[in-house]
Structure 1
Amino acid sequence: MESDYSNDLLKPRKSKRLRFILLSLLIVIVLGVGFGYYWAKFVPTGKHEKPTFAGLVKPIFYQGEMLEKPATGKEESLKLPFDTVKELIDPSMIHESESESTIITTQDKVIRLRTSQLTGMLNEKPFTLKFPLEKVEGTLYLPMEPIKQLYPIELRESPETGAVILVKEGDTLEWGKTVAYPDKPSKTIPMRKEAAIKSPILVDIKQGESVMIWSDDNPEWYRIQLSSGYMGYVSKDHLKPDRKETLPKQVPPPSFVPVKPITGTINMTWEQVFNKNPDTTKFPPMPGLDVVSPTWFSLEDGQGTIKNIGDPAYIKWAHANNIQVWGLFSNGFEPKRTTEALSTYDKRMKMIKQLLSYAQLYSLQGINIDFENVNLDDKDELVQFVREMVPLMHEQGLVVSMDVTPKSTNEMWSMFYDRKALIESLDYMMLMAYDEFWASSPTSGSVASLPWVEKSLTRMMSEDKIPASKLILGVPFYTRIWTEEQVNGKTKVSSRSVFMEAQQRIIKEKNLTPKFLPEAGQNYVEYKEDGKLNRIWMEDEVSMKARVDLVKKYQLAGIASWRRGYELPPIWSLINNALQ
């Protein structure tokens, strides 16, 4: 039997051994945790994951973003969705579902492509497509071969994956190059799914390979794209910025240059023709007049038929006096008829072809479009009509101009004009700066006070970016006699339009003395007759000189007057001398 003394000797040794075991175990745990932390934080994963395009077989990329709908075909047969082309290449492109037609308009071309047909129309002349438009599962696809000839774009198609990278004129691509390791030639650079070393590797990139850099916002990672279309992240330690590539802007085709009048600044007048053309032998001299626009053509029905009351004798007189003729085409101010005629390509082209035929028949130098009282819903269709019309007119050397009202909140008088879009096609835009106070206005006022005219002018130039070189100021050769009478304690207002001669006759007959109104920039007279007050804001040499001064102040393309026959003969010399 051991003594208690022996047991007491063994206890310290057991205790030391236990402490040693516990300490060793603690060290192992600490080392294990530390190693695990190090492994988790600093050791990249070698796990690979196959890259995909989210289920798309032939994805399209723009500016580092994959688009919702894919492409179809390849190389020459490559096609892109219509919506993609419209959004990214030409927002003005339209598709008419009724006729299954896609219509593309450029500065000098009108192209019509019909679904499933290999024959297209270019400026109404047939041409052959290698591959047609087609619908795939309800999505319309456009062949890219003709599109690439029309627009300054590149479609970089990967032979490896079929992915398509769209690059447009002016776009800048930033390229980087993966670093090289001369002592480790077989080493690859991992492109990861996310910006983290534990994110799986999508592609092992070769050393010295060029990649597109789309983002460097992360301090440690670049977001990149390979020529195959695959996208991911590469550590900044493994990639160096290399170069920038900008797709150069192409030299646009020579733009149409309207034949300028001899004076350089246009002096135009409208000729209002109802049923019978005027006798030109009775015209007084009109020194300085460059252009006449007779109201010869008008929309007759919703099918696009145009009524023509042109006169060869009028043309002969104009050309003998070195005056250009821009035939006016009116919608008859009929909104329903206008809606119908603008609704399809075939109807719009029917109108255009008739105008081209009349222009050739009468040796016109231009067409002046006068569409008024149009539904707001037809705003885009009116722009499309002009876009389709101008290239074909320019092909025949014809100037195309359009009359617009000042800007206001009146939908059918002003808001239906998309002035900013229209001026992209037009050679000239005439601002009809009159009817500030219109015929049925509840209050009396000037037809066109000078501050109102100037404000209307500058507003269009600033808000709609109408260049002065394309803007012509429309001025009135008429005024209104406003009659005010008291009826049941209220002022009742009525008016009638008069020519310049009529106002002068009234002033003479009634021995009136015109008074200049600075706030209107016009002379003014008033008189009482049968207990009623008559008021006239005068259109005369004073108001006309002020408007010509606006043309010069803003260096506008010219002046246009409504209408010939309303003026007094001396006005022509005044305008001509003032323009000089």
Structure 2
Amino acid sequence: MKKKVLPVIVAILLILVIGGCALGKVLLDKYSYSKEEADWNEFYQVSENDRSAIILQNEMVEEQALIKDGVCYFDLATVHKYMNEVFYADMTENLLLYATPTEVIRTTFGETAYTTTEGTQEAGYVISFADGDNVYVAADYVKLFTNYSYECYDRHVQVNTEWGTRQVAQLKKDTAVRLRGGVKSPILTQAVKGDTLEILEQMETWSKVKTADAVIGYVENKRLGEITEETETPVTDYQAPEYTSLTADSKICLGWHSIGGVAGNDTLYSMVSGTKGMNVIAPTWFSMTDENGAFRSFATAGYVTTAHQMGLQVWGVLDNFNYANENGISISTLNMLSSTTARQNLVKNVTDTAVGLGLDGINVDFEQLSSDCGPHYVEFLRELSIECRNKGLVLSIDNYVPFNFNDYYRLDIQGEVADYVIIMGYDEHWHGSKDPGSVASISYVSDGLDRTLQEVPANKVVNALPFYTILWKTEGTDVTDEYITMRNEADFMSKAGVSAEWDEVTCQNYAEWTSGSVNYQIWLEDAESIAVKLNMMTTKNIGGVAVWRLGYGTQAAWELINAYLQ
């Protein structure tokens, strides 16, 4: 009997031993700490040895830095997106420009020096270079003009653009910083007792942390000491540029004086006669004539002298369309503005001309720009603002009512560099659009100003009123139109034998009638509609009013404007 039982007992013991070993292995596999090391190239998504991931604050972004000859570079799109959008590259002339409030600093691709008004400055490294369609800028050069910090590590670059407070804790013992929370997760790096870790996110048993060398991973909570809060140290060697302005203490009232030739200057007295409260006159004198920065001028010094004697400032208008329209030629604003030589020729010539004439300011009216022209237009405004600021000229810029589709005109930047941002509060429905409607309904104007005020200081915002309307004629499917000036509206309505009624939606007097097979519609701009717009402008406390154009208005409208200015 004993001989039969003994083998059974041995077998059971063997089964228990084997089972225990198996269970122990399972438990060991489950609860022991993995020693597997993570692949940093895979973790940082770096496939080339000269590339480094960018950690912006506490997040890895999709863009990467380039390390070349021991120097850290960012491509210009990355600089614009995260650090500083003022840098401007001219790919044809191989230039990198930076416009401050008072000067344009330049360097040529591949060079180690840059030029300021004080002369040539040596950087000690290649500042920028082009690689195909990309321009790379040295991180240290970006730092000369930018409130940010960076630190390069083995596979990544830590970038900070803002500072506040952070939670930190010291390690109570040596530990591995892992790719994910869990003992089986691969190891990113080792941290030692006493290291200070930034706590990014705390969970039940693990915390997401960042080490002193900007490795972001996970450690067990039991390894962490007391969590405290500390204030981050911001950059101390950066001073923000100061953009000074020539905005007036009181509201401005600008009237555009449409001048089609030198002889048009003789209409100054008649155009000013009957106005009330106007303190700025803007003659349409200067117009782009080619793509090299030249412009034609109808200006005379005598006009400026006479206007000054009338108590008016004179802001000469520079446009990109009148000369081309008058002569039936095509001039590419994009080609002109994207050439640094041509652009700076225009800036210098128009500001020198303005000073020579004794002008008080320049009014820029560049219209129908394409979106790809946007960055070059912005650089033009920056460079023009520098010359205007240095020469004591007021810079005002005309704009369409802002929408998402024309945001490349960059009202936010205009609000920084210009003295006045003028919103042309009309053309809601425009000549030739074949879409009958109001030229400037109250919601169109008010909403446009609200969007502008999100980008531009209120004292710099000027709303331009239309002293005209459009008569719409619809015959079948054919829609035509014609302009009618405010001063001629009453006579027109009388001759047509119709009267208008107030429309609460547009806050305009509206009339519609049929003659023969033609249906007529008109939304009047008159004293009543102007009063509503001025009241709305008063509530928004903007910097003033403009009118398109002199000679179109009525005495009643000017009386209302004068009251608004008070």
Give the alignment's TM-score, normalised by structure 1: 0.79
Cα deviation digits, residues 471-491 of structure 1 (max 9, x gap): 3221123345x48697xxx49
C-alpha separation between the residues in 2 aligned to 1:24 and 1:529?
113
C-alpha separation between the residues in 2 aligned to 1:516 and 1:123?
62
After TM superposition, give the deviation of residue 371 of structure 1 in Å.
1.6
C-alpha separation between the residues in 1 aligned to 2:168 and 2:453?
38
Aligned partner of 1:258 in structure 2 is 246
After TM superposition, give the deviation of residue 415 of structure 1 in Å.
8.0
SS at match of 1:386: helix
After TM superposition, give the deviation of residue 39 of structure 1 in Å.
2.4
* 1:368/1:124 CA distance change after superposition, 3 Å: farther
After TM superposition, give the deviation of residue 33 of structure 1 in Å.
2.4
Question: Could you tell me which of 210, 217, 224 is aligned with 1:239?
Answer: 224
Cα deviation digits, residues 238-260 of structure 1 (max 9, x gap): 12434344455977444423330
Superposition CA RMSD, Å: 4.0
SS at match of 2:64: coil
C-alpha separation between the residues in 2 aligned to 1:344 and 1:299?
14
SS at match of 1:361: helix
Residues 127, 141 of structure 2: 8 Å contact kept: no
Aligned partner of 2:313 in structure 1 is 324
Q: Read off the aligned partner of 2:266 and give its amino acid letter.
A: P
Question: Could you tell me which of 187, 204, 227 is aligned with 2:212?
Answer: 227
Cα deviation digits, residues 134-182 of structure 1 (max 9, x gap): 4487664322333213111011345xx58531111246654332115xx
Question: Could you tell me which of 417, 424, 432 is aligned with 1:432?
Answer: 424
C-alpha separation between the residues in 2 aligned to 1:325 and 1:331?
20
| 1:352 lines up with 2:347 in the alignment | yes
After TM superposition, give the deviation of residue 432 of structure 1 in Å.
2.1
Question: Could you tell me which of 177, 195, 198 is aligned with 1:209?
Answer: 195
C-alpha separation between the residues in 2 aligned to 1:65 and 1:435?
45
C-alpha separation between the residues in 1 aligned to 2:184 and 2:498?
94
* 1:176/1:556 CA distance change after superposition, 3 Å: same
Residues 247, 460 of structure 2: 8 Å contact kept: no
Larger Rg: 1
Residues 255, 550 of structure 2: 8 Å contact kept: yes
Aligned partner of 2:111 in structure 1 is 117
SS at match of 1:461: helix
* 1:521/1:278 CA distance change after superposition, 3 Å: farther
After TM superposition, give the deviation of residue 274 of structure 1 in Å.
1.3
* Structure 2 alignment gaps of length 5 or more: 325-329
C-alpha separation between the residues in 1 aligned to 2:233 and 2:195?
21
C-alpha separation between the residues in 1 aligned to 2:519 and 2:340?
53
Question: Could you tell me which of 48, 64, 69 is aligned with 1:68?
Answer: 64
| 1:363 lines up with 2:353 in the alignment | no
SS at match of 1:575: helix
C-alpha separation between the residues in 1 aligned to 2:444 and 2:517?
36
* 1:100/1:547 CA distance change after superposition, 3 Å: same
* 1:33/1:533 CA distance change after superposition, 3 Å: closer
Residues 89, 135 of structure 2: 8 Å contact kept: no
Aligned partner of 2:125 in structure 1 is 131
After TM superposition, give the deviation of residue 327 of structure 1 in Å.
1.6
C-alpha separation between the residues in 1 aligned to 2:492 and 2:443?
29
Cα deviation digits, residues 473-520 of structure 1 (max 9, x gap): 21123345x48697xxx4976655454444456678x69786553345
Q: Read off the aligned partner of 1:112 and give its amino acid letter.
A: R
* 1:126/1:306 CA distance change after superposition, 3 Å: farther
| 1:552 lines up with 2:547 in the alignment | no
Cα deviation digits, residues 410-439 of structure 1 (max 9, x gap): x8xx68745566545443332223344544
Aligned partner of 2:467 in structure 1 is 477
Residues 319, 365 of structure 2: 8 Å contact kept: yes
Residues 245, 418 of structure 2: 8 Å contact kept: no
Residues 285, 569 of structure 1: 8 Å contact kept: yes
* 1:458/1:153 CA distance change after superposition, 3 Å: same
Aligned partner of 1:565 in structure 2 is 551
* 1:91/1:445 CA distance change after superposition, 3 Å: closer
Residues 105, 114 of structure 2: 8 Å contact kept: yes
| 1:23 lines up with 2:12 in the alignment | yes
C-alpha separation between the residues in 1 aligned to 2:284 and 2:383?
22
Aligned partner of 2:299 in structure 1 is 310
| 1:89 lines up with 2:79 in the alignment | no
| 1:155 lines up with 2:150 in the alignment | yes
After TM superposition, give the deviation of residue 365 of structure 1 in Å.
3.0
Residues 215, 223 of structure 1: 8 Å contact kept: yes
Q: Read off the aligned partner of 2:112 and give its amino acid letter.
A: L
Aligned length: 544
Cα deviation digits, residues 189-247 of structure 1 (max 9, x gap): 23345543345555442211113344445x33334333334454322211243434445
* 1:247/1:424 CA distance change after superposition, 3 Å: farther
After TM superposition, give the deviation of residue 278 of structure 1 in Å.
2.6
Aligned partner of 1:175 in structure 2 is 168
| 1:404 lines up with 2:399 in the alignment | yes
SS at match of 2:67: coil
C-alpha separation between the residues in 2 aligned to 1:245 and 1:65?
22
* 1:377/1:151 CA distance change after superposition, 3 Å: closer
SS at match of 1:364: coil
Residues 359, 366 of structure 1: 8 Å contact kept: yes
Identical columns (%):
23
* 1:202/1:111 CA distance change after superposition, 3 Å: same
C-alpha separation between the residues in 2 aligned to 1:69 and 1:466?
31
C-alpha separation between the residues in 1 aligned to 2:166 and 2:78?
20
Residues 420, 466 of structure 1: 8 Å contact kept: yes
C-alpha separation between the residues in 1 aligned to 2:426 and 2:185?
70
